[in-house]
Amino acid sequence: MKKLDDRWSEDLIPHLGGKTAIVTGANSGLGFEISKVLAHHGARVVMACRDSSKADAAAEKIMRTNPEGEVVVKHLDLSSLDSVTRFSSNFLKTEGGLHMLINNAGLMAINENRTADGFEMQFGVNYLGHFALTSILMPLLLSTPQSRVVSISSSAHKFGRMEFDDLMYEKRRYSRWGAYGQSKLAILLFILELNRRLGPQSSTKALAAHPGVAHTKLGQNGGGILALGFYLSAPLIAHSAYQGALPALRAAADPHVQGGQYFGPHHSLWGSPAINAPSARAGNSEDARRLWAISEELIGMRFPVL
């Protein structure tokens, strides 16, 4: 197996002509940068966004840079399982393959809120909506050679805890950061279990990534002093959204990666994309199996991977 080089950069992305990618939350921040880079390397990118007008403007901005590939805007609201089902069903009817599913969209440290289906909003959008999206699209991913699922976590997963008896903060006092950390830990447990179920011989790979400290719009709608402080200080302490997107791009496009790997900045918060070590809780296979079973029950469908 080729040793992965920690000095990886966009220049090492191969030509992606003929490949199709879905990027959720693609109208700004990491999702915009990921979409732009993939399109410039020849991919057809479906920008799956809740706000179609902002997504249209972002797509036009990318197309003005004359990429080799193209971008297409589709509506997707991850806070609604009906929206996830409509988007996925339409995609399956109209597309012949899916090479990259990049589960990027997310919320950070927001005030307490509920999804259309009654789930705690950060758990519902950051994790459960993407779990449902991946589940419905999995047959197409499995039939597409060398396809990948890349889910975006965060260093915040390290303080996250899976409170299986109260995932939705119905019994305990709501914590903006606690809910955020739980959702990001759930993402890594999902990738751990998906990778296990796919097995080492599968052509489809499941990977995760995190951006380190990146200057994006994440947090601007958050509540509390910490979220506001993070957003206001980001221009001073963070690297760019483009640099924050590189770990996900490596997971999606580096031909030498292996299923189950977790990419982030080389120095944890800053630097070129390299393999990172998740927390011990993110490697808890028993929790991963338990979360999988609960997630299937919550979305009301079986995930089509044994």
Residue owning tokens 């977790």:
262
Catalytic residue among 169, 180, 231, 262: 180
Q: How many angstroms separate the Cα of 6 from the Cα of each of 149, 214, 242, 273?
A: 21, 19, 17, 6
217 in Cβ contact with 103 (< 8 Å): no
Sign of the CA dihedral 149, 154, 158, 164?
negative
Kindly write down the DSSP assignment for every residue of 53-116, as one continuous string.
HHHHHHHHHHHTT--SSEEEEEE--TT-HHHHHHHHHHHHHH-S--SEEEE-----SPPS-B-T
Rg of the chain taking only CA atoms, in angstroms: 18
Q: Respond yes or no: is residue 180 known to be catalytic.
A: yes
Secondary structure class of 266 (helix, strand, coil): coil
Cα 230 versus chain centre, distance: 21
**Annotated active-site positions, please?**
180
